[in-house]
Amino acid sequence: MRAQQPAQSALAALLSQPFALMGILNVTPDSFFDGGRHAARESAVSHGLAMVEAGADVIDVGGESTRPGSQSVSEEEETRRVVPVIEELARRCRSAISVDTSKSGVARRALDAGATWVNDVSAGRFDPGMPALLAENDCIAVLMHSRQTPKTMQHAPHYDDPVGEAVGELLQQVAVFLSAGVSKSRIVIDPGIGFAKRFEDNIAIMRGLRAFVDTGYPVLIGTSRKAFVGQITGRPVDERMWGSLGSVAAACINGAKIFRVHDVAETRDCLRVLAACLSR
């Protein structure tokens, strides 16, 4: 396994850049865009390495779909899917490896295999063992706002104040991790676009992203090819890259620092031009 710099210093280095990219690597049969494309280990590793070459700072390996209506899989199955891929990527690539999981057992095995980030879409709501695990390990915790579970989250979600409620609920979960001993400098927050949110909620959060930035935590945004992009453009998921780039540019202008994307090279070019045009 390759030598890695401490996670805190690695995150600080990423945040010193104008932006950072997290490449999405789903080793699942049922994810909303690329389900089944990289389910085999060899294909997954090859795609992960290609994203590194395209400019991904982090590769986020997920073994359980969290699309609306998706069913949970067992800890054993999720571990079987992600750990061999993480082991091989950690051995062969220079970028950080993240595991996209809400199960502390999967996270532990992934960290042992070489991951240094844990991306938990439940922000610890699904597994009370997650905060203590991350406190024990020198890893980055990405904590996302959501409600209910992926299976039920789009069953009539409702907000009176989408931005205020999402910020408040997310900070409640952040406090759980801080109380468990996770350092503030190891926490990244994600507003959870598309998770338990209506179209108008997603738009409100994109417009109000500064409220998340103002918490003092670095903000990761994941809009890549999501349904709200399709609702705006009228495009199916395979044709949403250009719309996704528009959402990434808007999020960057509003203070997001890390972008979780399927299309790494295209997003990198978009953000490099944006950064050059906005720099003083």
Angle at 7 between CA 252 and CA 11, to 5 degrees: 20
Give residue 9's pLDDT: 79
The residues assigned a catalytic role are 226, 260
Structurally, at CATH architecture level, domain 7-278 sits in Alpha-Beta Barrel (3.20)
Give residue 5's pLDDT: 55
Report residue 37 as tokens. 């494309």
* Structure-token match 């299309």, residue found: 263
Q: Does the pLDDT value for residue 7 go beyond 70?
A: no
Q: From residue 71, give the alpha-carbon distance in Å to each of 74, 78, 79, 130, 237.
A: 10, 12, 16, 20, 20
Percent of the chain clearing pLDDT 90 (strictly above):
82
- In the chain, the amino acid numbered 241 is M
Q: Supply φ then ψ for residue 241, to 5 degrees.
A: -60, -45
Sheet (strand 140-144) strand order: 187-190, 140-144, 117-120, 96-100, 58-62, 20-26, 258-261, 220-221
- In the chain, the amino acid numbered 8 is Q
pLDDT digits (tens, 9 = 90+) for 247-262: 999 999 999 999 999 9
Percent of the chain clearing pLDDT 70 (strictly above):
93
Q: Does the pLDDT value for residue 36 go beyond 60?
A: no
Give residue 242's pLDDT: 97
Give domain limits for the chain. 7-278
- Write a three-state SS string for the chain: CCCCCCHHHHHHHHHCCCCEEEEEEECCCCCCCCCCCCCCHHHHHHHHHHHHHHCCCEEEEECCCCCCCCCCCCHHHHHHHHHHHHHHHHHHCCCEEEEECCCHHHHHHHHHHCCCEEEECCCCCCCCCHHHHHHHCCCEEEEECCCCCCCCCCCCCCCCCHHHHHHHHHHHHHHHHHHHCCCHHHEEEECCCCCCCCHHHHHHHHHCCHHHHCCCCCEEECCCCCHHHHHHHCCCHHHCHHHHHHHHHHHHHCCCCEEEECCHHHHHHHHHHHHHHHCC
* Structure-token match 């001993």, residue found: 181
pLDDT digits (tens, 9 = 90+) for 178-222: 999 999 999 999 999 999 999 999 999 999 999 999 999 999 999
pTM for the complete prediction? 0.93
What is the average pLDDT score of the chain? 92
